Amino acid sequence: MNLAVALGRRATGLACALSCVRAAAHRPGSGSIIARSLFARVAPTNPALWARLRAGDAREANLTTVASSGTGGKPTMVATLEEFDGALKEAGDKLVIVDFTATWCGPCKMIGPVFDKLAAEYGDRAVFLKVDVDENSDTAADCGIRAMPTFQFYKSGGKLAEFAGADKDKLLELLKEHI
């Protein structure tokens, strides 16, 4: 799992920022635009993570506690297949719920707030991930996604269930069944 997974949506487009952070993080007012942007986004909301980034401690075990501790009430956007595989591995025996979505998908827009609400309610007991199928087509292809939205449920690295469609009752039913 890498920086983008650790920061979720806040790191979209900033996956390459770690090298800039190491170079400029000791003086947040200096350095590259990416490092300053990362500081502006991370420091106010997660001082502990910023301190680890400043220290150059980007090892997976220390930087990313998102999957092992839940997603803190927000779904985490996954940008690559490697991040997806890392998130499943980091989750261990926690339930992982993945929302495969697209920005142009009407039903995805309808069910999105429901998924976000479930993440807020169950985020301490499950990991909630989102995959934009247009931005992360490798993961979508690897998972066999053919329709949006599709929800997949994983535990201990294995897939438990899957369904396609914006069915909030089915989403809640499978969440409660597998949590």
Q: Provide the pLDDT confidence category of residue 27 given band limits of 50, 70 and 90.
A: very low
pLDDT of 73 reads 78
pLDDT of 45 reads 54
Mean pLDDT within 127-150: 97
- At 71, the amino acid letter reads T
76-178: what fold?
A: Glutaredoxin (3.40.30)
- Whole-angstrom Cα distance, residue 178 to residue 161? 9
Which parts of the chain fold into alpha helices (H)? 3-7, 17-24, 33-42, 47-54, 60-63, 81-91, 106-122, 137-142, 168-178
Dump pLDDT digits (tens) for 39-52: 555 555 556 655 65
pLDDT of 50 reads 56
HSE toward the beta carbon, residue 70, CA cutoff 13 A: 13
Catalytic residue (choose from 16, 20, 105, 143): 105
Dump pLDDT digits (tens) for 69-127: 455 679 999 999 999 999 999 999 999 999 999 999 999 999 999 999 999 999 999 99
pLDDT of 106 reads 97
**41/165: higher pLDDT:** 165
pLDDT of 143 reads 97
- Whole-angstrom Cα distance, residue 127 to residue 146? 23
pLDDT of 55 reads 60
CB of 77 closer than 8 Å to CB of 12 = yes
Residue 60 pLDDT exceeds 90? no
How many residues make up the chain in this entry? 179
Break the chain into its structural domains and give their ranges.
3-63, 76-178
Q: What are phi and psi of 124, to 5 degrees?
A: -85, -15
pLDDT of 15 reads 36
Q: Which two tokens stand for residue 171?
A: 């989403």
Residue 172 pLDDT exceeds 80? yes
pTM, whole model, 2 decimals?
A: 0.63
**133/18: higher pLDDT:** 133
Whether 105 is a known active-site residue: answer yes
Q: Which two tokens stand for residue 162?
A: 């899957």
